[in-house]
Structure 1
Amino acid sequence: MVVKYVVSPHGRRGTYPTITSALRAFSTLQGVSRRPRSAVVEIVPGRYEESLVARGDVRIVAAEGPGSVVVNLLRGTVLETYGSVQVEGLVLTNRDVDYDAVACVQGTLTLDHVEVRTPGGAGAHARPNTHVTLRDSTFLHGRTLFTAATGTVERCRFTDAADNAIAAIEGAQLSVRGSRIEGSRIHGIRVCDARAEVVGCELTGTGNAALMADTRAELTVADCAITAVHAEGIMFIEQSRGSVDRTRVTDAAHGVCAASGADPVVRDCVLTACRDTGINVQTDARGRFENCRVVDARNIGVFSTKGGAPEVTGCHVSGGNVGIAVAEGSRGRFARVQVEDLTNSALRVWDGSKGAFEHVRVDRCTLGLDTKGDGGTTADLTDVVFRDVETAVTALGQSRVTLRDVTAERAAVGFCGAEEAQVRAHDCTVTTVSVGGVVASGKAKVFANNLTVRGSEGTGLSAAESGYLSVADSAFTDCATAGAVFADESSGRLVDCSVNGTEGVAVLDNGRVEIISLRTSLKVLQKTVRTVEEKTTTVINVDGLYVAGSVHNSQIAFNNDQVTQRQSNEDGRTT
């Protein structure tokens, strides 16, 4: 049986002058009734200065629709509920940050087309073991808090929260759908040691991460739009898990970030105009990122740093500065990735990090891959194509690069090792380069098998300073200057190679190259190794003699116990 109570501040006959008096009458009836009852409290328009306590099965309604009834309180909680309570169309306000504006203490509470205003405390608070439903409602300035409770939020608006707009903590379980969150000073939604599902929501202008999962939280996000965020669009930290699907982040410092052991799955998302990074994985976090697009990240599209270890598959990075960077002792696996139109490196591995790249396509970037760091800095590339870059691969420091089935097209330099780096290339191709196919300088070492260089305006191979090139089973075609050039103190080895073309020379040898089975119709030019001639001649006393090459200005004695050396001075006298 439903009992109806009408509240009118004008004291009409059969009505109650205050909401409190109507609720108290229902509580009294409940106390004496043998059968469970429910009540409807219908309130005529007006402003009520009351603190409400609703018990039992009660529905509190603004008689003339949303906004017509305002319940205001300077101090304390405006509405406290026990039982099964529904509130429709009221405006609930308080000005006390030390109290919840609305508190569900026991049972369930539904706010439907309600507006809650508070200066900065909790606008609505679901206490432990309760369930709160918020539907088509507005929350101004205060946070909405679910503590060890369950909750449903549908089509609500949260504006200018002084804290987090929504927080689920201490094991709470929450579903937020079709809602808008704007201007929160901290987070839009924070999930801490709790579970939350956020679907079809808009979040904008938050001071920190729009969506935050921390302390082993589980956060599921789908079909959301996040814009103009001062920090991260979505952040997973402290071993949190979850998934992000079909979500767009625009104008955030970082699009999606995982840190301190978090491990999210991110799929089919678009991260646009991020002021620092699009995807950021750090401090021992992991994460799988599938079929995402990162557009115009100002610093780095995908960044693994400080021990991060993401797996990135089927992603597209375009515009901005650096495409994919692995740094500061991190790892990363990247497959079926396309990177294009960057002002700096498409792929970067630095500082003791390890990057593995498979089935990657790079177009129109300044650099393809650059590596730098100690011997623990490694990059492994398989089936990678670089087009329209200045240098396809640049290895510096003591870093080590392994290339398998890698192609460089339309570049200044194909593969370059410098300083003390090592590059190993298997079944690779370099075509249409303006300077050289493969370069080794400093003390770098480059090893190549089944390498093809075609259409170089300069050289096929080039070594300088103390660089070393060891190349086998390889072909160099139409290299305008030379198939291979060895300068300075560089050295190398050519085994079963061919140089074909109509101009230039086959090999320019500085005398430090071992050539085994070179097929060519072009000239091989050898530069004699210069030695410093001393004033005294060299005397060698050996039991047996083997001399490879020419010997000049030497005296050689066989089987002599004593050797007397004579020398003429500049004035002709013998000494």
Structure 2
Amino acid sequence: MVARYVVSPRGGRRAHRDIASALRAAAARGRAALIEIAPGRYEEALTVRGEVRLVAAEGPGSVLVGRTRGAALDAFGTVQVHGLVLVGREADVVGCHTGTLTLEHTEIRAHGGVALHARPGTSVTLRDSVVAHGRTLFSGGAGLVERCRFTDAADNAVAVIDGARVSVRGSRIEGSRIHGVRVSDAQAEVLGCELTGTGNAALMADARAHLTVADCAITAVHAEGIMFTEQSRGSVDTTRVTDAQHGIAAANGADPLVRGCVLTDCRDTGINVQSGARGRFEDCEVLNARNVSVFSTKGGAPEVHGCRVAGGNVGIAVTEGARGHFTRVRIQDLANSALRVWNESGAVFEGVRVDRCTLGLDTKGDGGTTADLSDVVLRDFETAVTALGESRVTLKGVTAERGAVGFFAGEEARVLVQDSTVTAVSIGGAVAAGKGRLSARNLTVNGSEGTGLAGSESGYLDVANSEFTDCASAGVAFADQSSGRLVDCSVNGTGGAAVLHNSRVEFVSLRTTLPVVRRTIRTVDQPPTVVNQIGPVFHRDVHGAQFAWNNDHVTQNQQTEGDDSSR
């Protein structure tokens, strides 16, 4: 049977004037105790032992317990607190040392330090309560937080460390100076929560932690919405991050599973994977990322499946020795590249759809820089594929529609094309310039306002079993010192030349009814020159121009043509 004790600062029949005296009386009897506390301010530091329930008799907020300095309550045993306001400074305001502690409809005000400390081996439940200013620390024990509010923590609002296991549900965390929830070498789940205004990552998992997140809303954070690092694992489901520096990030060997999330208006990146981290991202949306929507760098290796990217600057960027595998991604309305692979990185893109982006794919770097595209559709671009440096690009089953240039190999890059189509371009379907090399099998170019296939400078074209139809200027054109080989190709249409060449190309089974024209070159005055760091961009007709890609210095030489026509 539970023994009942009454506490009232005014005294009264069988009433204790302070809480400590009621606790002493309960301890002397050694029975479960209910202590009902009348409204008032109690300048006490409580030590509670055994099975005790402390209740504010006239409801939450009517009883304030604590001193100017030190702790308000230390629990040893099975302790329940209902409706109290616990205040402390420069100490653990509430500490659970052994056993279990349950706080309901309680407010903890920590003016520096730890608000609530659950020590190893304990179990603490915090329900329908408010924690102001201090940190809630679970160290090595178990915890449940339900429908609580954490405001203006000077540190982390909730810290789960050293093997603790904690569930945070339906709660709001705002204004934390560091993290909203930090999980370090421990396990936590955060479900249906709101987090806003944190100084660092709203949710942080480090030191091999396991973090599960679902149905949360994260807004206005100064760093990451959610961060996994130091070999942490876990999952994030149906969560929305808005106005973060980075939406969801993984680093230093972390490997999260992220599904059905929306990352919007991120100030730098939406998804950020680096430093040997991996991660799988499924059915997510990244909207209006200011810099890069999906970023893999410095050894990162994410898998991205079924995601959507819209608005912003760059869609997917893989740089600095990173990797990535991207399948069934839809990308649209970007100011820059939809796909980017730079600097010794490698990426695979399958089933990707790109609409209304300035560049479809751009690659740049040494020979270790590779991009493999299959079953990819690129529409409404300036250049569909641009390969520079010594990078290597493989295109299989790629469709490019409506733009200036389809496939471009410049500098010393290599582009391999198979079973692909370019339609409705204004300058060229496939181009090799500089010392670039483009090899194509079963390439089809339809409706180019310029050329279907073109080589310039020292570019090399090796093309077989391909078709060029209705190209206004020429089906195939070789200029400068460019060279190549055409095997079993056809050029069809009603106007223009089949081939304009410089005698440095080998023809094997060329099929056409249009003229094949050999061009002789002599130097005259300088022509206009277009310099572009990425690829050709024109806003009106340009005739007799030279083009330089990625050059800081350009030497101009005017050339004129003398035709030597033959069939």
Same fold (TM over 0.5): yes
What SS class does the counterpart of residue 26 from structure 2 fall into? helix
Aligned mate of 2:377, from 385, 395, 404: 385
Deviations 1:409-446 (A, max 9, x none): 00100000000000000000000000000011000000
Matches within 5 A, 1:522-561: 522-528=514-520
Deviations 1:230-279 (A, max 9, x none): 00000000000000000000000000000000000000000000000000
Aligned to 1:5: 5
1:118 matched to 2:110: yes
Q: 1:528: Cα distance to partner?
A: 4.9
TM-score, with length taken from structure 1:
0.90
Q: 1:29: Cα distance to partner?
A: 1.0
Code of the residue aligned with 1:297 in structure 2: it is A
Aligned mate of 1:74, from 61, 68, 84: 68
Aligned to 2:59: 65
Aligned to 2:164: 172
CA distance in 2, matches of 1:528, 1:441: 19
CA distance in 1, matches of 2:495, 2:140: 79
CA distance in 2, matches of 1:371, 1:198: 39
What SS class does the counterpart of residue 92 from structure 1 fall into? strand
Matches within 5 A, 1:308-457: 308-457=300-449
Aligned to 1:205: 197
Aligned to 1:239: 231
Aligned mate of 1:268, from 251, 260, 270: 260
CA distance in 1, matches of 2:80, 2:68: 23
Deviations 1:56-107 (A, max 9, x none): 11100000000000012122211000111000000000122xx100000000
Matches within 5 A, 1:34-53: 37-53=31-47
CA distance in 2, matches of 1:53, 1:367: 68
CA distance in 2, matches of 1:226, 1:299: 20
What SS class does the counterpart of residue 434 from structure 2 fall into? coil
Aligned to 1:130: 122
Q: 1:11: Cα distance to partner?
A: 1.3
CA distance in 2, matches of 1:331, 1:188: 31
1:107 matched to 2:73: no
Deviations 1:162-192 (A, max 9, x none): 0000000000000000000000000000000
CA distance in 2, matches of 1:482, 1:120: 77
CA distance in 1, matches of 2:18, 2:521: 108
Aligned to 1:18: 18
1:484 matched to 2:460: no
**What RMSD in Å do the two structures reach over aligned CA positions?**
0.9
Code of the residue aligned with 1:72 in structure 2: it is G
Aligned mate of 1:460, from 447, 452, 473: 452
In structure 1, runs of 5+ residues without a counterpart are 31-36, 531-575
8 Å CA contact 1:510, 1:528 repeated in 2: yes
Q: 1:28: Cα distance to partner?
A: 1.1
8 Å CA contact 2:440, 2:464 repeated in 1: yes
8 Å CA contact 1:511, 1:529 repeated in 2: no
CA distance in 1, matches of 2:34, 2:415: 79
1:229 matched to 2:221: yes
In structure 2, runs of 5+ residues without a counterpart are 523-567
CA distance in 2, matches of 1:399, 1:517: 31
8 Å CA contact 2:71, 2:89 repeated in 1: no
Aligned to 2:147: 155
CA distance in 2, matches of 1:120, 1:146: 17
Code of the residue aligned with 1:28 in structure 2: it is A
Q: 1:512: Cα distance to partner?
A: 0.2
TM-score, with length taken from structure 2:
0.92
What SS class does the counterpart of residue 356 from structure 2 fall into? strand
Aligned to 1:515: 507
Aligned to 1:503: 495
CA distance in 1, matches of 2:396, 2:234: 35
1:86 matched to 2:97: no
What SS class does the counterpart of residue 26 from structure 1 fall into? helix
CA distance in 2, matches of 1:446, 1:119: 68
Aligned to 1:474: 466
- The percent of aligned pairs where both chains have the same amino acid is 71
What SS class does the counterpart of residue 274 from structure 1 fall into? coil
Code of the residue aligned with 1:14 in structure 2: it is R
8 Å CA contact 1:327, 1:350 repeated in 2: yes
8 Å CA contact 1:140, 1:159 repeated in 2: yes
CA distance in 2, matches of 1:383, 1:69: 68
CA distance in 1, matches of 2:487, 2:471: 18
- The higher radius of gyration belongs to 1
CA distance in 1, matches of 2:112, 2:469: 74
CA distance in 2, matches of 1:529, 1:435: 21
8 Å CA contact 1:511, 1:528 repeated in 2: no
Q: 1:294: Cα distance to partner?
A: 0.2
CA distance in 2, matches of 1:147, 1:74: 26
